[in-house]
Amino acid sequence: MLHSPGEHNRSTRDDLWPSVPIINKKRTKKRLLLASTALLMILLLSACGSPSQTQQQTTQNKIALDKALTDAKNIGVPNATLQPILKQEAQLSQTYAPFAISTDQYYTNLAQRYQALKVQVLGLETQTTQHLDYQATLDLHTMAALLSQRQSEGFVEAKTFADQLTGYQKQMAQAQYPKHYLQIINGVEASTQSLRMMGTTYDQIKTLQQTIKQLQASHLDTTALEQQQQYDLDLFRQANKPEDFTLISTQINAQLQGASTLSAQAIPYVGAVKLKQFNDNINLMNQYGVDTTTFQKNFLSDQTKLQMARTYNDFLKFSAQIDADLNATQMPLLKGQANYLLKQFHQEVTDWGNSHQYHDDFNGQNYPLTYEYDLQGVGSDADSSVQGAQSADDYQAAITFIQNETTNLKAMEADYNDKTSWDQPHATDMQLMQYYKATTGQVIVVSFVEESLRLYQDGKLIHTFQITSGQFDKPSVPGFWHIFDRESPTTFKSSEPKGSAFWYPDTKINFAMAYHDGGYFFHDSWWRVNYGPGTNFPHYDVGGDESFSGNGSHGCINMPEDQAGWLYNNTGYNTAVIIY
């Protein structure tokens, strides 16, 4: 068959290649690009459209969390407390929806996480507020106890801190947020530290005064030192912050160093005075039952050194040695005195209690009238103060406590023999007010012997009540105290487990005034009818609740409601309290 040239060529090409469609690559790429662009536009349009409900909820929950965090910071929740939540929020803000779950599911989970974090913030607010409230209450109790000690030691300067305490107590009554409690805590801690430093600083002033007297006895000119000492005393009377006492202490140390240079001229005289003091300390330790063998040897050695001293260096060596030996007597002397006084106190409690007992016709038993001072009362506190003492300040505080309680005990013994009517001024009340330097202002005085309360204003009796104090196993606390908390109304909750002999159900109290930490109050007792002598022991109450009215209180001072209300409305924070 004949073919044209074109036909021949086409047949030849078809024979060489299979019969398949020919692909246009440029056209295919264009189609793919158009499809991708279309898909991208769909996604973009979807993203730019109105958000879903779950996205909106997530946004709202995050805004609510941020507001809760801001509020928490504003009310004083510390940043450190909020830091874990802030960290978790930052981590959540950096997350993206994984391909494994739908977008709605992702935002639902995220919204729930933000909501949970907000709940945690609110919980931290409550927890922080409760913790700081409790801490502030404890700090106030500590300050009140230390203030009472300083007042009993006769520091007129303690009035400044009594005013501060009243201010803190008013702030506590109004406090709502952590920042309020933190402000109170910081103020109370500074005031408490100042009260601690007050004793040490005053001891330094006394040391400087004593040094001046020694120098004057040696006919040395002490005019400059006397002026400095008066300036120190003026600063001391004005001091109300820890840094004030630190400044005074630093100044006195420098003055004492200057005085030591001046006293080099008076070493022979001063040495004789210090030797006498050393010997007096040894005699006291012997009286307290302390082994003084080593101290007596040191005394003889010091005595010989002073007699043999001829040169200035000899006197300086003696002076350094006698100072060291005197310092070495301080702790054994204080420890010996504390234990000696403690033993005497317990002996007095036992002896007088055995010879003066209350015979209870209700149950036929006898009770020592000194039970508030025995081991179930402040006797155990006295033991703890001595056994737990570590420093000279600790032993001195224990000595002061025992001396105060011994004074209260002696006053109770005198009151027992006083036939003055319970609603009249008593000599023992006046003596104790003078002893505690509480002759001005209001003073609540409670007599265990008479089961009565007498309120004085500037030493003048203005009101009297009969009361019921703590029972034999739960005595009230004798001593010199101050009202540091006031609650009206409130609910008392038992600290004892149900089933205990001292458990009681939650009890509404109309007027409560705390005088000692540990839950000791003056308060109304609507479940009683009878008050006065004998009601602190087992008895029959003519109309009260039989379950709780037939014995003394659990350590509180119970009063009829109208009288407790009168006392509450006519006294205030920091009112002095003497119980004996």
SS3 annotation, 177-197: CHHHHHHHHHHHHHHHHHHHH
Distance, in Å, from the CA atom of 547 to the CA atom of 84, rounded to the nearest integer, reads: 51
Contact indicator for 458, 472 with CB cutoff of 8 Å: no
Q: What is the mean pLDDT of residues 237-246?
A: 95
Confidence (pLDDT) at 270: 78
Homologous superfamily in CATH for domain 418-579: L,D-transpeptidase catalytic domain-like (2.40.440.10)
What is 374-437 written as a DSSP string? STTTHHHHHHHHHHT--SHHHHHHHHHHHHHHHHHHHHHHHHHT--S-TTS--HHHHHHHHHTT
Measured CA distances, 367 to 347, 463, 535, 555 (Å) = 17, 30, 13, 17
Distance, in Å, from the CA atom of 145 to the CA atom of 138, rounded to the nearest integer, reads: 11
Contact indicator for 363, 348 with CB cutoff of 8 Å: no
Query: pLDDT class for 100, splitting at 50, 70, 90?
Result: low
Q: What is the mean pLDDT of residues 67-74?
A: 95
Query: pLDDT class for 317, splitting at 50, 70, 90?
Result: confident
Closest among 248, 129, 247 to 185, alpha carbons compared:
129
* Mean pLDDT rounded to a whole number for the chain: 88
Confidence (pLDDT) at 211: 84
- In SS3 terms, 320-366 reads as HHHHHHHHHHHHHHHHHHHHHHHHHHHHHHHHHHHHCEEECCCCCCE
Q: Domain residues of the chain, as ranges?
A: 54-263, 418-579
- The pLDDT tens digits of the residues spanning 15-56 come to 333 343 444 444 545 554 554 444 444 333 344 445 688 889
- Specify the higher pLDDT residue, 326 or 216: 326
What is 243-281 written as a DSSP string? HHHHHHHHHHHHHHHHHHHHHGGGHHHHHHHHHHHHHHH
Query: pLDDT class for 95, splitting at 50, 70, 90?
Result: confident
Q: Which two tokens stand for residue 185?
A: 């805590």
- The pLDDT tens digits of the residues spanning 520-542 come to 999 999 999 999 999 999 999 99
Least confident of 109-118, 268-277, 287-296, 400-409: 268-277
Q: Which two tokens stand for residue 286?
A: 């012997």
- Specify the higher pLDDT residue, 448 or 7: 448
pTM (predicted TM-score) = 0.65
Contact indicator for 170, 187 with CB cutoff of 8 Å: no
Confidence (pLDDT) at 271: 84
Confidence (pLDDT) at 216: 82
Residue in this structure with the two tokens 């406590």, named with its chain if needed: 401
Query: pLDDT class for 97, splitting at 50, 70, 90?
Result: confident
Side chain identity at residue 368, one-letter code: P
Confidence (pLDDT) at 263: 65
- The pLDDT tens digits of the residues spanning 249-298 come to 999 999 988 777 676 667 777 788 889 999 999 999 999 999 999 999 99
- Specify the higher pLDDT residue, 256 or 122: 122
Contact indicator for 284, 337 with CB cutoff of 8 Å: yes
Q: Which two tokens stand for residue 316?
A: 């300086």
Q: Give the number of other CB atoms < 10 A from CB of residue 427.
A: 12
pLDDT at 396 over 50: yes
